[in-house]
Amino acid sequence: MSKQAMIALEHVSKSYQLGVHQRSLREALTQLWRPRPKPSDKDIFWALEDINFTVPQGEVLGIIGHNGAGKSTLLKLLSDVTYPTRGRIHKQGRLAALIELGAGFHPDLTGRENVFLNGAILGLKRREIQAQFDAIVAFAEIEKFIDTPVKRYSSGMYVRLAFAVAAHVQADVLLVDEVLSVGDASFQQKSLDKMLEMREQGATVIFVSHNLWSVAAFCHRVLLLEQGHIVAEGLPGPIIQQYRQQQRQKLITRTVAEPNQDGERVIITDVEMLDEAERPQKEVDPQDSFLIRVHYLAAAPIEHPIGKIRVRRADGLLCLELRVFMETGITVGKGYYQLFIQPIQLTPDIYTVEATIIDRHKPMVYAFHSGEMFTVPGQLADMDRGGIFYPNVEGSYISGVNE
């Protein structure tokens, strides 16, 4: 017997008119009787086009894609923040959205009052909220501050309470957008554990995230969006692999160095990737040493510079951020700063290097350079292994110990 479809989209498209802005009531009234020109095709942007999929009861569906692919627009359509230009969306049961955490919170109300307010916005009756209240407060870990206005909360407290409310409404369908990327590490793990618990209890979830490891661990099926279209769907492993390969290809075909955003005082002229013998190196074994050398040309001295290097994985994940404090400053002419990493220990993938020269004492960026690439060879990291690094470790265990 097939499961009931909780969400179904039939030929759904969403367009926006470019250049249109929100007007005041006075402006709207004065323009009411004036003829408005019909927008041309070039003034229309299609955020989503002809989207079709069904989410049966108890399925966790992941949605991935680069920024601008249409993921957030899709969630807004599902949560009735906006409506489709074409097509139909069918929904069954109570739906809760973790899209903008705390969207229903009022800063002048206490945490307690906001729990009841936010729960009501999500469709709960007062007795239902009361039955979940203790669990919500305990999960958020803000017992001492529950009767304090939320405008006095730290951002972490605010996020924890908002997630706790949304996660305890016992909705039939839950929409989740990057909620696991907020908060500290312990809260992220607690959130993921809660989501996994909900999955085991048969919740129907649509989960949007750039964190591919969470998508692989949490979802039964994944859709890959690109420029408003579904380009692939299936089990998490193959679809994530396809997405990562797309990201790799974009890096390979991209111009090696993007245009510099150079300051007037110094420019970064080159970024070298070198092995231990200072030979050019574009392919690095995880256990090899690696030297990144950044060359610059200064037209004027800089007293308190810092050289910064960032290494990003093909999907944009920041893996390393390292700094060199240039104590004697930068003088006019050529120079370089460098970092020696021993060993690099990154998982197999393609990586880009961003080099920046900033000021130590004020928010000043003197020079920026990105686009240099190197590869750690091998198969893409197994989804059940996860992580960014392959550290040198030795494992052992003891079995059958009697105390």
Tens of pLDDT, residues 389-403: 777 777 767 877 776
307: left (phi over 0), alpha (psi -120 to 50) or beta: beta
The encoded tokens of residue 82 equal: 């906006």
Q: Where are the alpha helices (DSSP H) in 168-295?
A: 185-200, 212-218, 236-253
List of the chain residues with pLDDT < 50: 1, 254-263, 381-384
- CA 100 to chain centroid, in Å, comes to 13
d(CA 40, CA 20): 13
pLDDT value at residue 109: 94
For strand 60-64 and strand 204-208, is the pairing parallel, antiparallel, or unpaired? parallel
Tens of pLDDT, residues 237-283: 889 888 877 776 665 554 333 433 444 689 998 899 998 889 998 88
d(CA 175, CA 306): 42
d(CA 259, CA 278): 26
For strand 60-64 and strand 221-226, is the pairing parallel, antiparallel, or unpaired? parallel
The encoded tokens of residue 329 equal: 């400053």
Q: What angle do CA 318, 319, 320 make, to 5 degrees?
A: 105
Tens of pLDDT, residues 323-366: 999 989 999 999 999 999 888 888 887 888 999 999 988 888 89
Neighbours of 9 (CB within 10 A): 22
d(CA 382, CA 240): 11
Q: What angle do CA 115, 117, 119 make, to 5 degrees?
A: 65
Neighbours of 362 (CB within 10 A): 7
Is 167:119 a contact under the CB 8 Å cutoff? no
For strand 349-359 and strand 229-234, is the pairing parallel, antiparallel, or unpaired? unpaired
Beta bridge partners of 272: 293
Amino acid at site 30:
T
Is 290:284 a contact under the CB 8 Å cutoff? yes
Please name the residues in contact with 2: beta carbons below 8 A apart, sequence gap of 6 or more: 56
Q: Is the peptide bond before 238 cis (omega within 30 degrees of 0)?
A: no
Please enumerate, as own/partner, the contacts of 276-279 that have beta carbons within 8 Å and a separation of 24 or more.
none
pLDDT value at residue 2: 59
Whole-Å CA distances, 346 to 39, 112, 180, 260, 391: 50, 45, 23, 27, 8
Please name the residues in contact with 127: beta carbons below 8 A apart, sequence gap of 6 or more: none
Name the pTM for this structure: 0.65
Start-to-end Cα distance in the chain = 51
pLDDT value at residue 127: 92
> Phi/psi at 210 (nearest 5 deg)?
-90, -10
Largest CA distance in the chain: 88
Residue-range domains of the chain with CATH? 5-249 (3.40.50.300), 266-376 (2.70.50.60)
